[in-house]
Amino acid sequence: MSGLLERITNNMKKLSLISFFFLTFLGCEAKKIEVPDATKSASKENRMNSSEIAIIGGGCFWCTEAVFESVPGVEEVLSGYAGGKNKNPTYEEICTGLTGHAEVIKITFNPKEISFAKILDLFGESHDPTTLNRQGADVGTQYRSTIMFLNNTQQELANEWKKKLGTKLIDPVVTEIVPAPTFYLAEEYHQDYYKRNPNKGYCNFVIRPKLKKLNLE
């Protein structure tokens, strides 16, 4: 009888040790699970729901992207192609000037912080709207000055902007104002180009001086 009790006691000790090591192992391996902040998620969703879109082109999209990424009230800027005949064009195809696409940017902005009219004003200041299919050394229809409106209000504001700007400039404003066609997102290496490559030649000699001129850097 005493032998049986001794075996039971020993087995209970073994079980206790196993339980101890098992729980300790779980405690060491346990990872903290972060629960998303529902308030922050809802806030971001509300901002996006109240946002508006603008699609414009004024030369190389590396420049226009860098300009508008520096503007308060602008939530997102994407570089892409629009206005041509080919679906899903590539940068190599665009560079031939034969597809009809323009290098454009798609701007998501908060209209409570910056209006579409203000975006057009900055657009006019950030490029030369009087040169046809050219901005500086960038030549071709892909570099044309364009406003691609998404609704009647944008169309009216764009027409007013062009008319008003025309009274201030000697040369005629050649910016086209057209309904927004399909926007095709450019390749990943074009996105945030200035932020990723601040010391490259084009950024140093073209983009940075433009940002400084506009007091955006």
166-201, pLDDT tens digit by residue? 999 999 999 999 999 999 999 999 999 999 999 999
CB 75 within 8 A of CB 51: yes
Please tell me the predicted confidence (pLDDT) of residue 21.
40
- What is the C-alpha to C-alpha distance for residues 21 and 149, in angstroms, rounded to an integer? 67
Q: Which of 28, 60, 95, 203 is catalytic?
A: 60
Positions in the chain short of pLDDT 70 = 1-49
Please tell me the predicted confidence (pLDDT) of residue 194.
97
**Homologous superfamily of 50-213 in CATH?**
Peptide methionine sulphoxide reductase MsrA (3.30.1060.10)
Instruction: Give me 67's structure tokens.
Output: 């300009």
Please tell me the predicted confidence (pLDDT) of residue 22.
38
pLDDT (tens digit, 9 = 90+) per residue, 87-106?
999 999 999 999 999 999 99
Give residues with Cβ within 8 angstroms of 67, minimum separation 6: 122, 126, 210, 211, 214, 216
- C-alpha R_g of the chain: 29
Is 203 annotated as catalytic? no
